[in-house]
Amino acid sequence: MGNESLMLRACLTYIRQLGPGFITGVSDADPSGIATYSQAGTRFGTSMLWVALFSFPLMAAIQEISARIGRVTGQGLAGNIRMHYPPGLLYAAVLLIAVSNTINIGADIGAMAAALELVIGQDRWHLFPIAIGTASVAALTFLSYPTYASGLKWVGISVFSYFGIVLFVQIPWREVLYDTFVPSIRFSDNYLTMLVAVLGTTISPYLFFWQSSLEVEEQRATPGEAPVRKAPRQAHSQFEKIRIDTYSGMAISNAVMFFIILTTALSLHAHHITEIESAEQAARALEPIAGRFAFLLFAVGIIGTGLLAVPVLAGSVGYVIGEAFKWPTGLDHKPYKAKRFYAVIAISTLLGTALDFIGVDPIKALVWSAVINGLISVPLLCMLMLIARNPKAMGRFTISRKLSAAGWLTAGIMILAAVTLVGHLFLPGS
């Protein structure tokens, strides 16, 4: 009993450490990501499994840097850009995040509505997208931050459904292990586009802004905690919590990527299905091959991750615009004290929902949305790194050389991927 009690306490302590990093990591495996990973596995089989392993340390380093900026300065990323850099850079970042996130919201709501139809039945009155959008805005607006954050942790458990799907397919372990540890890069337009899409939906710009701002919320909600610049004695405990939380979230995110690519590669690509336009289509295609239970797990995972991701996408737009214009910003504010912040969240969600009603098919644009994320992440990664190494912003808590090297390596890889893709798409003879 003594050992069991110690293990239980250790588990509870670990769960309590989970917060913004876990929420950020799990929300990254949203329906848009699921569709992109499904497309990768369907088109290229197991040859893209290496990306899940390769991107984990890069993604974890970038999100740890984002988290540290919030914890050290007591402000989100947009607030730090406003304080320390020219307005043009700030407004460019605001525009890029607002447009990209709104498209993603529409894609995610569309995928969730389609998955609900698979589970519940036909939505003849097209009420599912409206209900999902309304519920997301209401949750962000009317729930207290501790309640909301706790709820997101529990919703995040839905991503584990993807780990169970592999039980329904036969796994050629030698091939899988080889493709996981030995990168296979093809210099074709389709492969490079998909590679940038996978990297773009994994190392997504909105996640930088979301986690840095959410760390500020977490700090405010924790009695006794303060921005590290003002309370340097708390640096070790706060940074340790960030590391455990963030690396846990990113590990789960990349594991989900791995298992979705693996599942679609072995069930769809292996049966000569090489084109999937949406997460919902991937779920439907799984049923005759892997069985109804695998199909239901996939569909329920889309709904659960969407419930997590849509508020994160809309909330990050609220943070970016609110911090840019010095509005009262934060989920710990009552609606009447941060009207413009919550109005931005509502408008962003409304516009995203509208994409499902005006003839625009956001699901077909998922992969290209991810490609755009991959391209716009380049300038935003550079801005993130400049802030993290800026003593005016971070004081004596600028990031270490090791973390800086990992961050700049990530930026360099994203630049290389973007330049290679653009060169292949637009330069004659390439």
Rounded CA-CA distance 425/348 in Å is: 31
Look up residue 200 and give its two tokens. 């773009």
Q: In terms of Cα–Cα distance, which of 411, 397, 379 is closest to 74?
A: 397
Predicted confidence (pLDDT) at residue 95 exceeds the cutoff of 50: yes
Q: In terms of Cα–Cα distance, which of 213, 203, 202, 221 is closest to 150?
A: 221
Matching residue, tokens 């979230």? 249
* pLDDT tens digits for range 36-48: 898 899 999 999 9
Give the list of residues 6+ apart from residue 104 with CB closer than 8 angstroms, or none.
30, 32, 206, 309, 313, 352, 369
Q: What is the domain partition of the chain in residue ranges?
A: 22-426
- In Å, what is the CA distance from 66 to each residue of 21, 23, 255? 10, 14, 21
Predicted confidence (pLDDT) at residue 100 exceeds the cutoff of 60: yes
Mean pLDDT of 46-74: 95
Rounded CA-CA distance 298/150 in Å is: 24
**Range with the lowest mean pLDDT among 36-40, 259-263, 276-280?**
276-280
Q: Which pLDDT score, from 0 to 100, does residue 287 have?
A: 75
* pLDDT tens digits for range 181-209: 999 888 887 888 888 888 888 888 889 99
Predicted confidence (pLDDT) at residue 362 exceeds the cutoff of 60: no
Contact (Cβ atoms closer than 8 angstroms) between residue 212 and residue 23: no
Mean pLDDT of 299-307: 82
Q: Greater confidence, 234 or 334?
A: 234
Predicted confidence (pLDDT) at residue 231 exceeds the cutoff of 90: yes
Predicted confidence (pLDDT) at residue 257 exceeds the cutoff of 60: yes
Matching residue, tokens 């929420």? 23
Domain 22-426, CATH: 1.20.1740.10
Q: Which pLDDT score, from 0 to 100, does residue 430 have?
A: 47
* pLDDT tens digits for range 152-164: 666 666 667 777 7
Look up residue 422 and give its two tokens. 């653009």
Reduced to 3 states, what is the DSSP secondary structure of residue 99? helix
Confidence class for position 10, pLDDT limits 50, 70, 90: low
- State the chain's mean pLDDT as an integer: 85
Mean pLDDT of 412-426: 78
Q: Which pLDDT score, from 0 to 100, does residue 402 have?
A: 94
Rounded CA-CA distance 53/58 in Å is: 10
| Highest-pLDDT range among 106-115, 144-153, 383-392 | 383-392
